[in-house]
Structure 1
Amino acid sequence: MRDAVVVVTGASSGIGRATALACAGRGARVVLAARSEAVLDEVARECRRRGGEGFAVPTDVADERAVRELAERAVDRFGRVDVWVNAAGVGILGRFDQVPSAELRRLLEVNVLGAVHGARAVLPVMRRQGRGVVIDVASLLGGVVVAPYLGGYAMSKAALVVFDDVLRQELALAGERRIQVCTLLPAAVDTPFFRQAGNRSGRAVRSLPPVATPERVARAVVRTTARPRPRVLVGPYARLLVTAHALARRPLGRAAARRTDRTYFGPAGDAPPSSGILYGASDAGAALRGGRHGGLRTTGRRTAAAGLALGTVLAASRRRARTSGPRCPG
């Protein structure tokens, strides 16, 4: 990473911020993009303290012209772009019929078109260089599993997974094999996401079980820049969850839906409607972590979740064994 030029969107908070600091700590020159100018300046100073360089460029990734300008300023400042990380993202909580269409549209513009704008802006740069890595931060939620009241967010992450698959195919057909496109699929991460998300459910969100820290995801980003792979699972039981979903999709989905509805959301009417940071910068709400102690207090939750997934897999395997056993000839 030393002297590599890395552009990180969503760099003011959560995974984007952790990624920027991790790259700077390895001597990278990091271009920081988000809507919160004051917070970006703070992150830039921290990048310099860690031994790298931080260059703040306030950017709304939903604005294609602004993203093109972000790429231009990165090249003007450093001469190239080695890695582009699309980590900007927003969320809305609520049933699909509770979420206003305008807010859903805004979410898709940030989460999906923001990454598309990033690819459009940086691919010409990487083609001139002859190489580069694009990393999109998606999610297991949408990429693999689903949960109620997060339909817009899951939809956007599923779209991002498909977009990356298609982009890889098109680059390969064009013979541009030295431009790599990588999709990160983290499990639940301890970021300010739920504090900043819009809420149209009428129900307060209780503490969701974090299973990874943003620093863990950032380390996965750094590893991926050195060894690009199409998809990267991040989290202590991510692979087990993927296997469980493949073998027992329906029972796992029912269990996830019940747990989300009964455990992670409060009673109806205990939360006022809010659009969160859909239209405004996070500013004072920006932070590295969400305060849910993903690195310290989740051992029991991790074990329970892993046990649930493993139990589902074993039950599905036993059912398959019973139904596929030897049959007597007719």
Structure 2
Amino acid sequence: MAGAGGRVAVVTGGSAGVGRAVVRALAADGCDVAVLARGRTGLRAAVAEVEAAGRRGLALQTDVADAKAVEEAADRAEEGLGPVDVWVNCAFAGFLAPFTEVDDEEFRRVTDVTYHGQVNGTRAALRLMGPRDRGVVVNVGSALSGRGIPLQSAYCGAKHAVVGFTEAVRTELEHRRSGVRICGVQLPGMNTPQFTWVLNRMPGRPQPVPPIYQPEVAARAVVFLARHPRRNAWVGVSTAYTLLGNRVAPWLADRYLARTGFASQQTGEDTPVRPANLFAPSDEHEDAGAHGPFDDRAHGHDAWGWASRHRTVLACAGVVACGLSALGGPLRSGARRR
């Protein structure tokens, strides 16, 4: 089995959805991967895919809301695979319900997994990476990190908190002139199994807010950040117009979402539904994989993300184009004089 010379990555929430796609992409990029999640079946399947790609995989059944469990999993990852180079915090939980129809325990659980799970993962990663003065932490966020929507109050609050937390830790690392980098990536609506097992108190079946993207689109962005860390990355043009639009006219977004936000997150289609995974894994006995039930509507490519990843090349091309345009005037004038 491969191992020598390869990087070691840890992915939380790696048994399904975006996390599963990230596990596959990192393995394809030459990483050995430790996968943290609760469901044993999904964990085993994810590790099997890492090994099929010729890399070493390690399944670590972990609830990321448990700080001690995450620390123990981090140590086991290094014992089993070697020094961790990349840590991706991807685990989350959610519900589709008005705030007034969610009790305290449910709200706290979403916050503990989606926010404290990233805090716990980051703490464990920095404990390992800090003494070596190298490594990359990627905190997976959402367009909802900068714009709240109805029916997802806990998730939106948690993703807002992740952004503030990541910015604070980044400044502390820069203050110490650390070689460890911490990045954020903000995602649009993704076609993942989460929408078949989210806690739902609405009459319709849950769906991502369109436009919907395939999880591999997000995985490409995460792998890019792992190799070329930068402060933040946006995936999907919808993420860009959500975040930018809310900065310009948040009151307009309030009114628009009040009118459309309930219906846009529900579908009347007959999609498979598993038990809610808020307090127990829904993929304990069935591998959910990376994709949800929206393959026929999901985009597999992202022009915005591609442009962001290749912004240096595009900027150089723009400079060359401007230079040629500026040079064209004198050349045409000279030709006319002759």
Q: Would the TM-score normalized by the shorter structure come out above 0.5? A: yes
8 Å CA contact 1:82, 1:132 repeated in 2 = yes
Q: Deviations 1:191-230 (Å, cap 9, x if unpaired)?
A: 112212112x342235442432110100000000111111
RMSD (Å) for aligned C-alpha atoms: 2.1
The aligned residue for residue 314 of structure 1 is none
The aligned residue for residue 143 of structure 2 is 140
Identity %: 34
**Does the residue aligned with 1:182 lie in a helix, a strand or coil?**
strand
Tell me the distance in 2 between the aligned counterparts of 1:97 and 1:249: 23
The aligned residue for residue 233 of structure 2 is 232
Structure-2 change in CA distance of 1:62 and 1:203 (3 Å):
same
Tell me the distance in 2 between the aligned counterparts of 1:278 and 1:109: 11
The amino acid that maps onto 1:241 is T
The amino acid that maps onto 1:287 is G
Deviation, 1:158, is 0.5
1:168 aligns with 2:170: yes
Structure-2 change in CA distance of 1:275 and 1:45 (3 Å):
closer
Q: Deviations 1:56-86 (Å, cap 9, x if unpaired)?
A: 1111111111101111011112231100001
Question: Among residues 98, 103, 108, which one is paired with 1:95 in the alignment?
Answer: 98
TM-score (norm. length: structure 1): 0.82
1:1-330 correspondence to structure 2 within 5 Å: 3-141=6-144, 143-176=145-178, 178-199=179-200, 201-208=201-208, 209-265=210-266, 276-283=276-283, 284=286, 286-293=288-295, 296-297=296-297
8 Å CA contact 2:96, 2:202 repeated in 1 = no
Structure-2 change in CA distance of 1:117 and 1:175 (3 Å):
same
Structure-2 change in CA distance of 1:76 and 1:206 (3 Å):
closer
The amino acid that maps onto 1:288 is A
The amino acid that maps onto 2:107 is L
Structure-2 change in CA distance of 1:75 and 1:262 (3 Å):
closer
The amino acid that maps onto 1:250 is W
- Segments of 5+ residues of structure 2 without an aligned counterpart are 269-273, 303-338
8 Å CA contact 1:27, 1:53 repeated in 2 = no
Pick which of 16-25 and 228-237 moved more.
228-237
Tell me the distance in 1 between the aligned counterparts of 2:266 and 2:28: 38
The amino acid that maps onto 1:290 is G
Structure-2 change in CA distance of 1:257 and 1:122 (3 Å):
same
**Does the residue aligned with 1:55 lie in a helix, a strand or coil?**
strand
Deviation, 1:11, is 0.6
TM-score (norm. length: structure 2): 0.80
Deviation, 1:252, is 2.5
**Structure 1 residue runs of 4 or more that deviate by more than 6 Å after TM superposition:** none
**Does the residue aligned with 2:234 lie in a helix, a strand or coil?**
strand
- Segments of 5+ residues of structure 1 without an aligned counterpart are 268-273, 303-330
Tell me the distance in 2 between the aligned counterparts of 1:66 and 1:259: 40
Structure-2 change in CA distance of 1:298 and 1:134 (3 Å):
closer
8 Å CA contact 1:104, 1:152 repeated in 2 = yes
